[in-house]
A = this chain, B = another copy of it.
């Protein structure tokens, strides 16, 4: 049994991570920590775990986590992960970081997150944890940067078209609709039921911090510069991201060719399901699952791609466990086929 710890267990991502790990046949949760008033059984913090998991969640004790774990999941806010990751790595632990701290070059990080990067050493070795693109690197890494929710939904959606040079690279428009748990579990007027229900809004138009992460990964795939306009929206649901992406075809393409590109690109991927151009994916079919569903429809010269994921599963905790499975040699879907 692999021993795992979750640091930051009381957020929405932490909760989902703990939930998935309790179902995993090859791991044992050995410690849970969080910023918390006093040590509390996780089944009191989240009564859903009553009878399923009996473990105290308390303030982080780095030494104890080191002693008791093989793998450390960091489900922490941005800028906090990089304070703790170095010590865990130094002591030989594998670290899976769900924050943005190890996803970007230091200069880009500092520009978008407004903080200096304090662990440039490890940053260089971190692997970006999108299994469909970097499975072999993931297998060998010790520090895994788990992708953001929006980037997962966008990169998986259009990687095949970009890889196949089927689309123009300077006019990609991404219109994403997200559930509110993506904003975290923190007391804030903007996240209240009274503000979010019966509402819909765009926010951070062209300036969302996930923009550089999307750009960086797409550039790697394209092997050249490109540009996107990313416009996120909040819709009144708890979980899920539906991204609608508008791309201009490069040369005349057919729906048949588009279908082939996607089917070929994802032919060995269990967690990506391609729907073709007629039926478009809906959030109801992916929430509480680790699937990314994709449809792509040609309309005159614009290809409209729609992708659907659960932001807490494939967009965070589920993908983190998928990565752990690869890093530890488990079956890649272990613990992840549950709904």
Contact = CB atoms under 8 A, between A and B. Distances in A.
Contacts of A285: 46-48, 50
A282 interface: yes
A114 interface: no
A215 B281 CA distance: 27
A307 to B, nearest CB: 11
Interface string A244-286: 1010000000000000000000000010010100011111111
A235 interface: yes
A231 interface: yes
A192 B191 contact: yes
A197 interface: yes
Contacts of A291: 51
Contact of A229 (B202, B229, B302): B302
Interface string A193-206: 11111111111011
B244 A202 contact: yes
Interface size class of A (residues with CB under 8 A): 35 or more
Given A23-B338, A175-B175, A180-B193, A246 B233 contact: no
Nearest to A227: B300
A45 B176 CA distance: 26
A206 B299 contact: yes
Contacts of A279: 44, 47
A2 interface: no
A197 B242 contact: no
B297 A200 contact: no
Interface of A: 12, 19, 23, 44, 46-48, 50-52, 171, 173, 175, 177, 180-181, 185-189, 191-203, 205-206, 227, 229, 231, 233, 235-240, 242, 244, 246, 270, 273, 275, 279-289, 291, 293, 297, 299-300, 302, 304, 306, 337-339
Given A198-B238, A202-B280, 14 more contacts: A52-B337, A192-B193, A197-B197, A198-B239, A198-B284, A199-B282, A201-B280, A201-B282, A202-B244, A203-B280, A229-B246, A229-B304, A231-B244, A233-B244
